[in-house]
Amino acid sequence: MAATLSGKERLSGKTAIAALMGRGRWSQTLHLRCCCLSDNGLDFNRIMVSVPKRHFKRAVKRNLLKRRMREAYRLNKDLCTPGGHDILFVYSSSEIVPFAVIRDELTSLLSRISAQ
């Protein structure tokens, strides 16, 4: 699998997001929360990344964290089986952590998703 994150792998659309939030299963690490809904009818996974404005008022900081989470997913997306999962990653800490911490936590979340 190529280490890219194409547009079709981004989760978008009101109905898909509402289904994920309504029926998805939540899991959590120290700095990240994850909501996953399996069997979206596609042969690839779709992700969505969120950083709340409540914790980071400046858009520059929110965008930095979103870039770090997307990059960590892009590098480790082969850990999650491509069985059609919709995944939402939410940054839940109020401090900015290094990329290595985000990568480690995201890989543990992906391994949990593939184990389900």
Q: Which residue did the predictor score with more confidence, 82 or 74?
A: 74
For the entire predicted model, the pTM comes to 0.91
* Confidence at residue 23, expressed as pLDDT on a 0 to 100 scale: 93
- Reference 20, options 43, 59, 50, 55; nearest CA is 50
Which of these, 64, 30, 32, 59, lies nearest to 47 by C-alpha position?
Answer: 32
Ordered by start, the domain boundaries in the chain are: 10-115
Q: What angle do CA 91, 102, 14 make, to 5 degrees?
A: 40
Triad 36, 38, 40: Cα angle to 5°: 115
Instruction: Determine the topology of domain 10-115 in CATH.
Output: Ribosomal Protein S5; domain 2 (3.30.230)
Task: Judge whether residue 53 has pLDDT over 80.
Answer: yes
Angle, to 10 degrees, between the axis of helix 59-76 and the axis of helix 99-115?
50
For the ranges 42-46, 49-53, 84-88, 90-94, which has the lowest average pLDDT? Answer: 42-46
Give tens-digit pLDDT for 3-36: 778 788 899 899 999 999 999 999 999 999 999 9
